[in-house]
Structure 1
Amino acid sequence: MDIADQLVRAAGDGDVIGVSRLLGQGAVVDAPNGDGRTALDRAVDKGHADVVRRLIAAGADLEQQAGEYQESTPLCLAASQGHTAVVGVLLDAGAPTGPQGRLGYVPLVLAATSGDEGHPETVALLLDRGVDINAVMKHKTALDWAVWFGQEEMVHRLLGRGAAPSAETLAAAREHLGRHPECRRKIERIAAALLAVEVVPATGQEPGTEAGNLA
């Protein structure tokens, strides 16, 4: 096993002492292992905040490709898995928070929608650090995506933090209902929550039209 493989393995194991030793022996911080994964990639993936901090101190690239298919970035990977402590370390180091990676992922959207109900603590941290709550990924905000996936709790959390619903947000609710008619009551509750904060209608559309379409 060469030194790059050893570094990536130590990082994935959360072995900060081993990581420091290997870096001291000349391991290149962002050198990939045989599977194309770097030490930072693996440490983020496994949620090892101390190792992430050590690798950043050694010059690891915060915007490098990450994830099994190299489609993500360290911050997006951490956000999607709800590794809140790691997200904090990356933000402290200046990791970008807008669309990133080859697929244009937005960390807040991933934190809000990954899993059954997203990762509330990670979402809260990102918003506390000033991330734009209405940032768009593939033409949808975090709120739009949460509605589209029928994540009722996250919808309430985002609305409580100032997310701005639009006619498109209610359209997402209608789309979710079309895919999951058994969820009508939940979608009606989501729609009521959106209307309670004054959904902005689309051009030429009367207020309340979208809600009526859910009936």
Structure 2
Amino acid sequence: MDEARQVLESGTNPDTWNTQGLTALHLAIQSRRPDMVQLLLEFGARVDSKTMNADGHTPLHCAAMVGHTVILEMLLARGADPERADSSGWRPIHHAASSGSLEPLGVLSKICDVNAPIGDGRTALHLAAIGGNADSVQILAQSGADVSARTVDGKTALHLAATQGNNVAIAKLLIKCGADRGAVDWNGRTAYDEAVELGQESLFALLQVPGNVASPAPVGDDLEELLRNAAWSGDLRGVRRCLKRGAAVNACDRYGWTALHCAAFKGHAEIVKRLLESCQSKEEACAIDEQGYSALHCAVESGHREVVKILVGCEMIEINGVTREGLSALDMALALEHGGMVRTLVNAGARACVANLIIDE
């Protein structure tokens, strides 16, 4: 502590990253040292600093993972954002639920959105069920967690509990809190079906649906929303399942975005290919949102050249369509100075519509 204080008093930046992309505050939390955390905070260490590695964890994420309530509350008192997501879309409450950190989970469940999903649709309750921690499930259920929430595969927490060993206590708790034993995922499977496939005999009697009555599989708007969510999150299997069940590829949200808009904007090339295969007409492939953006505009704006190549290579795509402001895809690529993308569009026959955007031969 004395040596650390001397270094900090000499003017060293407490937010410097080491070669692993961690700040001193991240290291102090991983070492479960509240005294060192307090010292670093006194010298201005940022509570919202993310790791510079692929994880992108904030100090609050780390505190939730190691299960140190004192450190967690110190960070919250300094203004740490409990709803901030890491690079995978996980918030601190997701890490606490997954790691079985009960006290931090109790704190976070009182101030956070307990039903916030990560990219694949799992909530903190799903993660607690997978982790096999009944106490975590109870904390979340008491804090208003939705036991009917579904993943992009249509699975509830009860489905996931049935796939993770003989979790009788968790299954009983979920059912007590209102979980529907007859709920089916998008493949028409109940939690009982999952238990049978994995030989979880202790769950058979608990999960069997009386009279074998099952809830209907999702149809209509629910299925189209699942398709868009799967396209946005990069879940190719989810996209295929939704299409197989009859999801309309051109169904849009309130802003006019279809699944193709979502996949193009996020740069999910394989999903874009699959969605184009499902388009039956030029109108479906070239659907525009309320601002006049097509999937091609979305791919250009977000800088995904591979997706642009796929789109301009499809005969159904209109490469010279313009937005409500009169911008073509090429106009956008020129304005954003995406040189390689400009060449791809020009080679495909794209034209610039805005006079002051000139292609440098």
Could you state the TM-score of these two structures normalised by the residue count of structure 1? 0.76
Where do 5+ consecutive residues of structure 1 fail to align? 204-215
- Provide the rounded CA distance (Å) in 1 between the counterparts of 2:200 and 2:158: 18
Query: Is it true that 1:151 corresponds to 2:169 in the alignment?
Result: no
Query: Is it true that 1:189 corresponds to 2:205 in the alignment?
Result: yes
Q: Which one has a larger percent helix, Structure 1 or Structure 2?
A: 1
Match of 2:57, SS state, is coil
- Provide the rounded CA distance (Å) in 1 between the counterparts of 2:118 and 2:167: 28
C-alpha RMSD of matched pairs (Å): 2.6
Distance 1:175 1:91, change over 3 A: closer
> Contact 1:150/1:187 (CA < 8 Å) preserved in 2?
no
2:130 is aligned, of 90, 113, 121, to 113
Distance 1:187 1:20, change over 3 A: closer
Q: Give the superposition deviation at 1:174.
A: 2.2
Distance 1:130 1:202, change over 3 A: closer
Q: Which has more radius of gyration?
A: 2
Aligned residues: 191
Match of 1:3, SS state, is coil
Q: Give the superposition deviation at 1:187.
A: 5.0
2:106 is aligned, of 73, 88, 92, to 88
2:149 aligned residue: 135
Could you state the TM-score of these two structures normalised by the residue count of structure 2? 0.48
Structure 1 runs (4+) greater than 4 angstroms displaced: none
Match of 1:168, SS state, is coil
Q: Give the superposition deviation at 1:55.
A: 0.6
Name the % identity. Answer: 28
- Provide the rounded CA distance (Å) in 2 between the counterparts of 1:57 and 1:121: 26
Q: Give the superposition deviation at 1:86.
A: 0.5
Match of 1:55, SS state, is helix
Distance 1:22 1:163, change over 3 A: same
Q: Give the superposition deviation at 1:20.
A: 2.1
Match of 2:190, SS state, is helix
- Which structure exhibits the higher relative contact order, with contacts defined as CA atoms closer than 8 Å and separated by 6 or more residues? 1
Deviations 1:37-90 (Å, cap 9, x if unpaired)?
321121111111111111111111212224xx6342110110011111011111
2:3 aligned residue: none
Q: Give the superposition deviation at 1:176.
A: 4.3
What pairs up with 1:28-107 in 2 under 5 angstroms?
28-35=46-53, 36-66=56-86, 70-92=88-110, 94-107=111-124
Distance 1:152 1:7, change over 3 A: closer
Where do 5+ consecutive residues of structure 2 fail to align? 1-11, 16-22, 217-361
